[in-house]
Amino acid sequence: MLTDYLPILLLLVFAIGFAAVNLALTHLIGPKKSTQAKLSVYESGVQPVGDTRQRISIRFGLIAMLFIIFDIEVVFLYPWAIVFKKFTENSGYFILIEMLVFIGILFLGYIYAWKKGGLSWD
Amino acid sequence: MDLPLNVLIISSLIKIVVVVHILLIGVMGMILAERKVSGWIQDRHGPNRVGPWGILQPIADGIKFLLKEDLVPDHVDKPVYLLAPAIILVPALVTCGVVPFGSSITVSGYEIPLQIADINIGVLYILAITSLGVYGVVLGAWASNNKYSLLGGLRSSAQMISYELTLGLSLIGVLILSSSLSLREIAIQQGSYPWTWNFLIHFPAFLAFTTAAFAETNRLPFDLAEAEQELVGGYHTEYSSMKFAMYFMAEYMHMIVGSAVAVTLFFGGWQFFGLETVGGPFWSGLISVGIFFVKTAFFLFVFIWVRWTLPRFRYDQLMNLGWKFLLPITLASIVVTATVWAFTQSKVLVGILNVVVACIVVAIVSTTLVMTREPEPVEDRGILSFTKESSS
C-alpha cells in the first residue's frame, strides 16, 4: 500500500530539486549591477507613497470564513459520495435522507449568509 | 499488477523524468501556441522571427529569463520572497503525479501503468495539492512589500478560495456514480464512446468545473489578480529573471494539468471509440497516450480561445458568479444525482434532470438578483437639480 506513494515522493524530490536549481542558476548566471532605483519599491516610476502594510477590506476576511464553513461541508461529502452506491444497494434510502438533511441545514445557512449580505461585494 | 520494488522504482523514475520534461515542453509549446493563436485570432502574425515560424521563440525567452539580473529589492522580506516562487512551482509540478495519461504498456513481461502513481485517493490528492498553490501567490505578494503585489495577492487568494469550493463540489456528482477516488478507475468506468462520458451525465458540474479551473489558474476572464491596467503585474510585480519565469511556468503547468484532469474525469481519459485497444500490448499503450494528448490539447486551445473572447470580470461580478451561481448549481447537481440514482438507477435520467434543475437554479438566482437590486442613485444633472436646491 505504502509503496503506491513512493513515486509521489520521488516526484516531490525531483520538483524541489528543479525549483532549487532554477533559483540557484539565475542567481549565479545573471549580472549583478543593482542601483538604488532598482532596489526601491516599484510604483510605476513615481516616488513611493506611504507604507504597504495598511488596513485591508474586511470583505476578504469574511470570504475566508465563509470558505472554511463550506469547505468543511465538501470534506464531509467526499466519503459520503464514495460509499453512496454501496449503501443504497444494501440498506435503502437512509443514506440519501441523511445527506439531504445535512445539505438542507447548510443551505439554510447559505440563505442566511446571502440575506445578511455576506455574499455580496460592494 | 504488483511490480517488484526495483522495477517499480526504475519505471517510476523513467516516468517522472519523461512526464516532467513533457510538461516543460508543454509549457514552452503553450507559450508559443498562446502567442500564435492570439495572432491568428487578432489577424496578425505572432512571433515569426526566431527559427522557422517562430518555433524557437520559447527557448529564446527561457534563455533570456535565465540571463537577466536576479534582483532582490531592499524592502522585501527576503526568505519568504525567495521561497515563494518555489512554493508555487513545486505543487504545480507534483499534481501531475496521479493523472493517468494512458492505459498501460508491457515492457519485458512487466505491465507498467502509464501513470506516475495510481493512488486510491487521486481526486483528493489533486484538490489538496492544487490548493497549496494559493500559498505561493499570497506569500510572494506579501513578502514583496509592494502595494500592487499586495492587492493582487489579496484578490487572487479570495478568488481562488471562492472557486475552490466549486471545484470540490462539482466533482462529487462524478464520485457518487463512480464510487472511487482513483483517477484511473474513474476514467476506465466511462467507457470508450463519447455518449457514455461523464460530461454528458454531469453537464452543469462539468461547466462549473471548467469555470473554476479558469479561475484557479488566474486566466482571463478571471485575471483580476494581475490586471495589467490596474495593478502592473499583480502579485509578481517585484519579481525578475527566473523567479518571475517560475510564476509563469506554474500558471501554464496548472493549465496543462487542469486540462488533463478535466479530460480524465469528464472526457473518458485516454479512450476514444475503442482505438486505444488497437495493436499489441505495447502499441495500444502509445496510441492511448496520443489520444490523451490530443484531448488535452483541445482543452488547452479552449483556454486560449476564451482568453481572447471574453472581457475581464469586475470583482463583484466575479464573486457573484462564484458564490451565487456556481455554488447553488453544484449543490443542486449533487442532490439531483444522488436522488435520481437512488430511485431509478438511470444515468440518462440523471443527465437530463441535472440540466433541467441547473436551468431552474439559474432562473431563480437571476430573478432574485434582479428583484433585490437597489435602484441606481439618480445623479444630480445640470441646471434642474441646481435650481431645485437653490429654491429650497
Kind and range of the H or E element at B153?
helix B147-170
Which among B289, B255, B283 has a CA at the least distance from the CA of B270?
Answer: B289
Average of per-residue pLDDT values in chain B:
84
Encode pLDDT of B331-358 as tens digits. Answer: 999 999 988 888 888 888 888 999 999 9
Which candidate from A27, A70, A103 shows the least CB-CB separation from B70?
A: A27
Encode pLDDT of A103-119 as tens digits. Answer: 898 889 888 988 887 77
Residue B387 forms part of a structural domain:
no
Can you list the alpha helix ranges (DSSP code H) found in A1-122? Answer: 6-29, 36-39, 58-91, 94-115
Q: Cell 464553513 appears where?
A: A69
Q: Which three cell numbers stand for residue A105?
A: 441545514
Per-residue pLDDT, averaged over A32-46, amounts to: 78
- Assign B103 a pLDDT band (cuts: 50, 70, 90): confident
The alpha carbon of residue A62 is apart from the nearest alpha carbon of chain B, in Å, by 10
Encode pLDDT of B230-271 as tens digits. Answer: 777 778 888 888 888 888 888 899 899 989 999 999 988 888
Assembly ipTM? 0.87
DSSP structure string for B325-367: IIHHHHHHHHHHHHHHHHHH--HHHHHHHHHHHHHHHHHHHHH
**pLDDT for position B380:** 57
What part of B 121-150 touches A (C-beta under 8 Å)?
Answer: 124-125, 145-148, 150
Residue B54 forms part of a structural domain:
yes
Residue B380 forms part of a structural domain:
no
B177 touching A (Cβ < 8 Å): yes
Residue B204 forms part of a structural domain:
yes
Burial class of residue A72 (count of CB atoms within 10 Å of its CB; 0-12, 13-18, 19+)? exposed
Q: Which three cell numbers stand for residue B249?
A: 511556468
Count the neighbouring beta carbons within 10 Å of the beta carbon of residue B73. Answer: 19
* A5 to B119: CB separation less than 8 angstroms, yes or no: yes
What part of B 300-329 touches A (C-beta under 8 Å)?
Answer: 315-316, 319-320, 323-324, 327-328
**pLDDT for position B383:** 54
Domain that holds residue B151: 5-372
A67 touching B (Cβ < 8 Å): yes
**pLDDT for position B384:** 52
Encode pLDDT of B38-95 as tens digits. Answer: 888 888 888 888 878 888 888 888 888 888 888 888 888 888 888 888 888 899 889 8
Residue B391 forms part of a structural domain:
no
Percentage of chain B exceeding pLDDT 90 = 9
A98 touching B (Cβ < 8 Å): no
Structural domains of chain B, count: 1
Residue B96 forms part of a structural domain:
yes
